[in-house]
């Protein structure tokens, strides 16, 4: 008797589940609604000839019954610039997709835009039309196309680039020996992943205060992913020993320093004897060094280098330099692309470097000096100076009217001359977390500089008779 009761109960439960299962599997054949995770699927600017990043949205079934979506199609069909994939099925018209009750499916989309004659960004549009039980829904697709000049693994002779369209460098570009590449004010240079500009001849970057020259990666979709400044998107600018008389004025160089394929991770690299004059420029968010010099010669004025994965400035193997009114700053800043600053000082100056067991040395020549500058960051020592114990190479350096952070005083026996410096006095940046390195009221850098022929700051503002240290004059 007991067994019969158990059997009856079990049968009843099974029957109940059977009814429930049948109810869940019933297809909604009339009416119903679909909802979507976006109103419009938008893409940021996409360079013609290159496919965009992939983005997606969801189609939701809010009913308690499954539905059959009879068609998910692009209005322009196979002629659309957009390509879609619906739950793993590619095509411009996907049919008969069943969607369970309270479930959703993904639509993935990319866009690949053909070149046009337009110089300015132009709009590309389509619609995805979704049909269920005779009712049509639509999700607009919108992207901005940008035509460009493409430099694909090219060797460049003497030329001046244009400003009507941006340049996209793919793989690499090389300025040959005895040739000059001039990049005028307003030019935008987008570097494809891991791309570099190799300079054996001369590079002249001639921006202005109102129209700078920009070097950055070509991933214009970073805003979509909420990390618009992503370190290491591309390589850098590399000046070889034959490269002379280079000029970089009013430029922004960012999101670089990729050391793939054995390259040195740096935004700018100078080989022995290469020369560069750099002014009114900013380097930031390099995954490696800012400026790395292996015995090169350079002048740097009114420059800001910050937020690097290695040194903002590394002078190795000696050379000759003159730095005036510059700011070098490294801090750990959070976020998706935030670089950590834990051990590399902001500035390192040596007359040697080691590669494995091999030591490369070169004299730091008399006349090398740093004036009116700030070296600051989040670790105890942000200025490192070191001399090779050898009579074959020299170390001559003058540091005047600078603020620097250092746990111990600079060594006095290696060839450093100091004048009117401030050690471990916080320069009071406006807000380094938002990359604002202007000075706050009360900064010890205010009126602490020495007057030179540099009469304006990085903002183009006049310096007074008692100039401030760093690249910005306090206002």
Q: What are phi and psi of 9, to 5 degrees?
A: -60, -45
- Cβ atoms < 10 Å from Cβ of 128: 24
Q: Across-strand partners of 2?
A: none
Beta-strand relationship, 327-330 and 374-377: parallel
> Is 11 strand, coil or helix?
helix
Four-point Cα dihedral 109, 114, 118, 123, nearest 10: -20
> Is 123 strand, coil or helix?
strand
Tell me if 362 sits within 8 A of 351, measured CB to CB.
yes
Residues of the chain where predicted confidence (pLDDT) is lower than 70: 1-25, 221-228, 333-339
This prediction's pTM: 0.87
Tell me if 114 sits within 8 A of 106, measured CB to CB.
no
In the sheet where 416-419 sits, what is the strand order? Answer: 159-160, 180-184, 202-206, 246-249, 275-279, 297-301, 320-324, 369-371, 397-400, 416-419
Q: Output the six-digit token pair for 279.
A: 């002014």
Listed as own residue / partner, the contacts of 435-440 with beta carbons closer than 8 Å and 24 or more positions apart are 435/284, 435/306, 435/307, 437/304, 437/306, 437/327, 437/329, 437/470, 437/471, 437/472, 438/472, 438/474, 438/475, 439/468, 439/470, 439/472, 439/474
Q: Output the six-digit token pair for 307.
A: 């937020």
In three-state form (DSSP H/G/I as H, E/B as E, the rest C), the secondary structure along 385-451 is EECCCCCCCCECEEEECCEECCCCCCCCCCCEEEECCEECCCCCEEEHHHCEEEECCCCCCCCCCCC
pLDDT, residue 2, reads 45
pLDDT, residue 222, reads 62
**Euclidean distance between CA atoms 417 and 179, whole angstroms:** 39
- For 8, the enclosing helix (H) or strand (E) is helix 2-25
Q: What are phi and psi of 393, to 5 degrees?
A: -130, 150
Tell me if 227 sits within 8 A of 336, measured CB to CB.
yes
User: C-alpha distances in angstroms, 472 versus 37, 213, 443, 464?
Assistant: 46, 20, 12, 12
Q: Output the six-digit token pair for 324.
A: 């005036």
The residues, ordered by sequence, that sit 6+ positions from 229 with a Cβ below 8 Å of its Cβ are 222, 254, 255, 284, 285, 337
Q: Across-strand partners of 214?
A: 188, 252
């Amino acid at each position: 008797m007991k067994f019969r009761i158990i059997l009856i109960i079990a049968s009843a439960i099974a029957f109940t589940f059977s009814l429930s299962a049948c109810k869940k599997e019933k297809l909604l054949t009339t009416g119903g609604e679909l909802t979507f995770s976006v109103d419009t699927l938008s893409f940021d600017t996409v360079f013609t000839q290159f496919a965009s990043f992939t983005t997606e949205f969801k189609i939701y079934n809010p009913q308690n019954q499954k539905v059959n979506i009879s068609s998910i199609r692009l209005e322009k069909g196979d002629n659309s610039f957009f390509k879609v994939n619906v739950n793993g099925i590619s095509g411009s018209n996907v049919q008969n997709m069943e969607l369970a009750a309270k479930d959703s499916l993904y639509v993935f989309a990319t866009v690949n835009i053909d070149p046009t004659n337009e110089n300015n960004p132009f709009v590309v549009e389509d619609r995805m039309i979704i049909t269920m039980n005779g009712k049509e829904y639509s999700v607009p697709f919108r992207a901005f196309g940008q035509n460009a000049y493409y430099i694909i693994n090219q060797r460049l002779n003497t030329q001046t680039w244009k400003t009507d369209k941006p340049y996209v460098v793919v793989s690499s570009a090389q300025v040959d020996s005895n040739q000059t590449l001039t990049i005028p004010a307003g030019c935008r240079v987008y570097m494809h992943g891991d791309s570099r500009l190799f300079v054996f001849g001369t590079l002249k970057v001639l921006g202005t205060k109102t129209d700078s020259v920009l070097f950055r990666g070509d991933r214009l979709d970073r805003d979509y992913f909420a990390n618009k400044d992503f370190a290491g998107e591309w390589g850098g600018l590399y000046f070889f020993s034959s490269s002379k008389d280079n000029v970089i004025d009013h430029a922004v160089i960012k999101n670089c320093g990729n050391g793939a394929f054995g390259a040195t991770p740096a935004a700018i690299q100078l080989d022995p004897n290469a020369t560069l004059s750099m002014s009114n420029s900013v380097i930031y968010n390099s995954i490696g060094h800012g400026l790395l010099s292996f015995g090169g010669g350079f002048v740097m004025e009114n420059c800001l280098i910050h937020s690097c994965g290695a040194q903002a400035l590394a002078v190795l193997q000696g050379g000759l330099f003159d730095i005036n009114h510059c700011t070098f700053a490294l801090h750990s800043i959070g976020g998706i692309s935030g670089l950590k600053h834990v051990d590399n000082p902001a500035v390192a100056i040596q007359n040697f470097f080691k590669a494995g067991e091999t030591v490369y040395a070169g004299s730091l020549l008399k006349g090398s000096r740093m004036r009116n500058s700030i070296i600051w960051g989040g670790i105890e020592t942000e200025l490192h100076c070191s001399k090779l114990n050898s009579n074959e190479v020299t170390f001559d350096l003058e540091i005047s009217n600078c603020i620097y952070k250092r746990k111990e005083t600079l060594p006095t026996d290696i060839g450093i001359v100091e004048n009117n410096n401030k050690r471990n006095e916080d320069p009071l940046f406006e807000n380094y977390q938002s990359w604002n390195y202007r000075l706050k009221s009360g900064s010890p850098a205010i009126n602490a500089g020495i007057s030179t022929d540099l009469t304006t700051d990085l903002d183009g503002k006049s310096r007074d008779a008692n100039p401030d240290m760093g690249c910005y004059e306090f206002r």
